[in-house]
Structure 1
Amino acid sequence: MFKSLLIATDCRDGLQRFGKCLEELYLNGIERVAFVHSVARQDDDIGLPEDLTPKVQAQQARLHKVLSAVPAGLEVEVLVQAGKAVDLILRGIQTCSSDLLITGMGIHDLLTEKLFGSTTLELLPKLTIPVMVMRPQLIAAFTLEELRLRSRHLFRSLLVPFDFEEPRRQLLSRLGQLLPGTSQCQAITLLYVVDPSARRNQGSPAEELKRRAEADLARLVEPLVEQVKPVQLRALVRVGSPLQEILATAADEDMTAIATASPRVGSFWEWSVRSLTGEILRQSWHPVLFFPRGSLAQ
């Protein structure tokens, strides 16, 4: 499924702690791990530009110090450079041939994001590989034992919110390519949420809408069950607010991550047409495995 990880850390989000989980990542099928960190240059028009070499070297030393014993068969790199984080991450993906980016993003709303920016959401339109977004608060709260266990089960149980729209169909197709034969993932749960408040559903009984959705989802899933073995594939239908039901199902069904895709997240159009996927990225405490548009056309 995934073999080469690029972990982007600002060394305050806790993601550098994965350096103490190298054996567990290797046991999870990972063959290469690269840690990338950017040292920002202060904007100052007065005087000569600051020499950032000492800061770069200091951060390199700190990251190398975090690394635990590297198991045989696992490649590990540390990339620390001066410059903009987005540019360094994109270069790191190319240099290390990464197939998954792991990054941190705190919980916030759309307005806060527009006012103060978000490195992760700025990256999304430029990525050609999936990204797993994790909460720094969650990583900080894990004991090392808990983080090591999570490192072995990053993709074990994935919740896939589904609505029959093209981006989610493309995601399902992409997962159908990635999952067969993998040992990293054990179960995929497709979730369709019937929203009684949606205009298209008004005037129809919720139970009738649910029965129709269950039948449609069953027809979709049936031909995929054999394709994705040994991964178990099942479908759920719930009634209520989509965002609330998705987040509740992730907790109730013991998911390790939510997998989703959308072309609108972080774009100008999200101001006028709110993206459910964007809200999941901003509000979910579960890690979110997001597939940008560029990662679906494989």
Structure 2
Amino acid sequence: MFHKILICTDFQDGLQRLVRFVPALAKSGLQQIIFCHVVPLLTDRDIPKVDTRKMETAQERLSVALENVPEGVDVKVEVGSGRFVDTVLKWIDTYQSDLVLLGMQQRTLLNEKLFGSNTVELTQRLGIPLMSIRPPLISTYTNEELELRCQHLFRSLLIPYDGSNEGNALLERIAEYARNRSANSLQECVLVQVLDTAGQRRAVRQEDCVATARQQMEPMKAKLEALGLQVQIEAREGDPLAELLEMAIEYDITAIAIAARTLSNKLLDWSRPKFSAQVLRSSWHPVIFFPPKR
């Protein structure tokens, strides 16, 4: 599905452990793996200064990734200094990465407004997908569990869908990745639609709403199945965020796929940017965010 990944770690998110699992990451279809770290500038003086000691330490810790590289896989280590987002965007351009992997710290909306969020800022400026993983998830895995997780990063996706033009655009992008996927990459998709009718007068029966939603998803199900994917569909009523997270638990998925403008209709208003941010903040499952095409 993805072939060139940029893995950004701050050494507190657990992603630094992945340097010892390059062969497993390669089995997920990755052909280029860039491990990177950004060291903030020292600002205790009038003129900002590069923290050379921290940069050397980071380089040494990440260079473990270069010790066990399978044939045909390109692995590099980058350590930079300065603003995190600007530095990451520069590396993306240099290596033509098609996915960024970050650790998503637990933050409230108030925290983000007061202090900002690298992940949220990146989603606003990226032209490629961003995958976020919770630090506790990575940190608590045994080596055996983490090796399996690395092999199946993109195996099964949970995809919220509503039949809108934006929703179809997200599935078209996933289909595009699926056409070029490696054998051990994307295998399954679960298309879900949650009808949020809270506060609305019920004009039709619940069963009819759900049946219509399922029927709406059938054409896209068939399109993805034609690419060799196993596809399930699920429609229900309820709170969109709560139901999405519940289905992430019920189904055997490896990540949730979302986009900034993918979910909007009269019954289900998910097109607002804050829904994507809510999923990024709330999900304990990995999340792949697809920004609008630029």
Same fold (TM over 0.5): yes
- 1:259 maps to 257
2:167–2:261 contact (8 Å) kept in structure 1: no
Secondary structure of 2:7's partner?
strand
Of 245, 248, 252, the match for 1:247: 245
Q: 1:275 Cα deviation (Å)? A: 2.7
- Residues 263-289 of structure 1 show CA distances to partners (whole Å, capped at 9, x for unaligned) of 49xxxxxxxx56322211110000001
Q: 1:104 aligned to 2:109? A: no
Q: 1:45 Cα deviation (Å)? A: 4.4
Q: 1:40 Cα deviation (Å)? A: 0.4
User: Aligned-residue CA RMSD in angstroms?
Assistant: 2.0
Whole-Å Cα distance in 1 between the matches of residues 223 and 61 of structure 2?
Answer: 50
Whole-Å Cα distance in 1 between the matches of residues 273 and 110 of structure 2?
Answer: 12
Secondary structure of 1:177's partner?
helix
Q: 1:255 Cα deviation (Å)? A: 0.7
Match of 1:36, as an amino acid? C
Match of 1:87, as an amino acid? D
In the TM superposition, 1:121-136 aligns within 5 A as: 121-136=120-135
The ranges of structure 1 where at least 4 consecutive aligned residues each deviate by more than 4 angstroms after the TM superposition are none
In the TM superposition, 1:1-298 aligns within 5 A as: 1-46=1-46, 49-65=48-64, 68-180=67-179, 182=181, 183=183, 184-197=185-198, 199=200, 202-226=202-226, 228-229=227-228, 231-263=229-261, 275-294=274-293
Whole-Å Cα distance in 2 between the matches of residues 3 and 216 of structure 1?
Answer: 32
2:28–2:154 contact (8 Å) kept in structure 1: no
Match of 1:251, as an amino acid? I
- Residues 30-84 of structure 1 show CA distances to partners (whole Å, capped at 9, x for unaligned) of 11110111110133344x5445223211211122146551122211111101111
Whole-Å Cα distance in 1 between the matches of residues 61 and 180 of structure 2?
Answer: 38
Q: 1:220 Cα deviation (Å)? A: 3.9
Q: 1:29 Cα deviation (Å)? A: 1.4
Unaligned 5+ residue runs, structure 2?
A: 263-271
- Residues 237-261 of structure 1 show CA distances to partners (whole Å, capped at 9, x for unaligned) of 1221111111111111111000110
Whole-Å Cα distance in 2 between the matches of residues 181 and 129 of structure 1?
Answer: 16
In the superposition, relative to structure 1, how do residues 32 and 220 fare at CA in structure 2: closer, same or farther (>3 Å)?
A: closer
1:196–1:206 contact (8 Å) kept in structure 2: no
Secondary structure of 2:179's partner?
coil
Whole-Å Cα distance in 2 between the matches of residues 121 and 52 of structure 1?
Answer: 26
Q: 1:161 Cα deviation (Å)? A: 0.6
Match of 1:52, as an amino acid? D
Whole-Å Cα distance in 2 between the matches of residues 289 and 162 of structure 1?
Answer: 15
What is the identity percentage for the equivalent residue pairs of Structure 1 and Structure 2? 39
Query: How many pairs does the alignment contain?
Result: 283
Q: 1:107 Cα deviation (Å)? A: 2.6
Whole-Å Cα distance in 2 between the matches of residues 209 and 44 of structure 1?
Answer: 60
Secondary structure of 1:30's partner?
coil
Secondary structure of 1:234's partner?
strand
Match of 2:193, as an amino acid? Y
Q: 1:130 Cα deviation (Å)? A: 0.6
Whole-Å Cα distance in 2 between the matches of residues 274 and 120 of structure 1?
Answer: 14
Q: 1:108 Cα deviation (Å)? A: 2.6
Whole-Å Cα distance in 1 between the matches of residues 6 and 273 of structure 2?
Answer: 29
Unaligned 5+ residue runs, structure 1?
A: 265-272
In the superposition, relative to structure 1, how do residues 223 and 5 fare at CA in structure 2: closer, same or farther (>3 Å)?
A: closer
Whole-Å Cα distance in 2 between the matches of residues 287 and 144 of structure 1?
Answer: 18
Whole-Å Cα distance in 1 between the matches of residues 166 and 67 of structure 2?
Answer: 39
1:133–1:287 contact (8 Å) kept in structure 2: yes
- Residues 71-98 of structure 1 show CA distances to partners (whole Å, capped at 9, x for unaligned) of 2221111110111111111011111121
The TM-score, its normalising length taken from structure 1, stands at 0.89
- 1:270 maps to none
Q: 1:119 Cα deviation (Å)? A: 0.4
- 1:268 maps to none
Secondary structure of 1:179's partner?
helix
Whole-Å Cα distance in 2 between the matches of residues 203 and 112 of structure 1?
Answer: 41
Secondary structure of 1:237's partner?
strand
